Amino acid sequence: MKKNELIQKSFEIAKERYAAVGVDVEKAMTQLQKVAISIHCWQADDVVGFEKLESVGGGGIQATGNYPGRARNIDELRSDIEKVLTLVAGNHRLNLHEIYGDFGGKVVDRDQVEPEHFKSWMQWAKEKGMKLDFNSTSFGHPKSGNLTLANPDKSIRDFWIEHTKRCRAVSEEMGKFQNDPCIMNLWIHDGSKDLTVNRYKYRQILEQSLDEIFKTEYKNMKDCLESKLFGIALESYTVGSHDFYLGYGAKKQKIVTLDTGHFHLTESVADKISAMLLFTPEIMLHVSRPIRWDSDHVVILNDDIADLAKEIVRAEALERVHVGLDFFDASINRIGAYVIGIRATQKAFLQAMLEPIAKLREYESNEQYFERLALLEEAKGLPWNAVWDYFCMKNDIAVGEDYITEVQQYEKDVTSKR
């Protein structure tokens, strides 16, 4: 039996099996097709960017490893993204940091960035059928230090306020060009390595900076704020904590970003979804995989991401939760890392969409807790992978492990020659 015939046959069996527990497989695949993942550009080049400024480390950013083939310029990065898109199903977005502008070899400091520096990105994305998202960039700059928007030094603080204002203006133009809101994420590393006695002061300054940044209202972009537990060399205190941004987001009705690597390892990010949706307009996800710390490992299909997807689907919040990735592993093939992470995220959402939720809710409402737990356990063994294989085949992309050889060939033909 040919592979496609086997996939088709397995799918038909899976379809019947799911129907027996009240799940419409076709509906689930239609839902999954609409989930647009915001693919992070910085996995392709280890968060280097294309600035001509003096590069300095710090800010809690560290890509580890030295696997050959890193993208060194815009053309190479775009080529890598184009290859990734041939190996994943669906229509996705591209998430850019400000340091990835098309600066034409010129020195453009971050408080001077303009929409024109991203016009070629807008045109390229349009040609590829993608939409763009954006991020301000506070790290890796001579004026970064330990504090940016929370810096008591007005000259430094004003520099970063201006930078962030300009990033919002860039995002507005992106959203206008693509006729779809550009989501602009604001994350700063501000904090302290050791014991801090002026915690309130720095958070008060950050609040004032944000108020200044958000004075101008836009129609074609959406603001979101990303917290962090700690940064490298800033382990004891983070100004922009989850509590800070959750309070600010609820008060100002801004989107709050949940990076799955920015919390205690025993803390459930999934549990935050239903709580935050009651008080914030939307949620932005940066899906990552922490190992012992915020290490930005490649996303895999584990319990954390499975639980996250289930909570979103159970809350019927697919329209209010935006899904983006945020990992940068320089120790393995970077194209392969993208494909593994994107596919793992899609698999998690497919599993969530195939959950027999109607019956589970019925059991819960009737206080039939044995039945609820039993069905949750049995659902783990339902043939979701047969549906996944069919979904890939239907989208005319590599099924199962077949993408490995395609990544290897791209490495042989392209990245190994860099």
H or E element in which residue 256 lies: strand 255-259
Residue 187 known to be catalytic: yes
Catalytic residue (choose from 163, 189, 262, 310)? 262
Catalytic residue (choose from 92, 222, 228, 242)? 228
Catalytic residue (choose from 294, 304, 389, 411)? 294
CA distance 200 to 239: 9
Residue 3 known to be catalytic: no
Residue 5 known to be catalytic: no
Catalytic residue (choose from 326, 329, 355, 411)? 326
- Cα–Cα distances (Å) from 27 to 19, 45, 354, 396, in that order, read 11, 37, 9, 19
Residue 396 known to be catalytic: no
Q: Is 60 left (phi over 0), alpha (psi -120 to 50) or beta?
A: left
Q: Can you give the three-state secondary structure of 276-306, one letter per residue?
A: HCCCCCCEEEEECECCCCCCCECCCCCHHHH
* Residue 322 burial (C-beta neighbours within 10 Å; 0-12, 13-18, 19+): buried
Task: Quickly count: other Cβ atoms within 10 Å of residue 18's Cβ.
Answer: 23
Catalytic residue (choose from 259, 311, 355, 411)? 259
CA distance 209 to 206: 5
* Collapsed DSSP state (helix, strand, coil) of residue 210: helix
What residue has token string 């930005």? 296
Catalytic residue (choose from 286, 297, 310, 347)? 286
What residue has token string 């695949």? 29
Residue 402 known to be catalytic: no
Residue 262 known to be catalytic: yes
Which residues are part of the catalytic machinery? 187, 226, 228, 259, 262, 286, 294, 296, 326
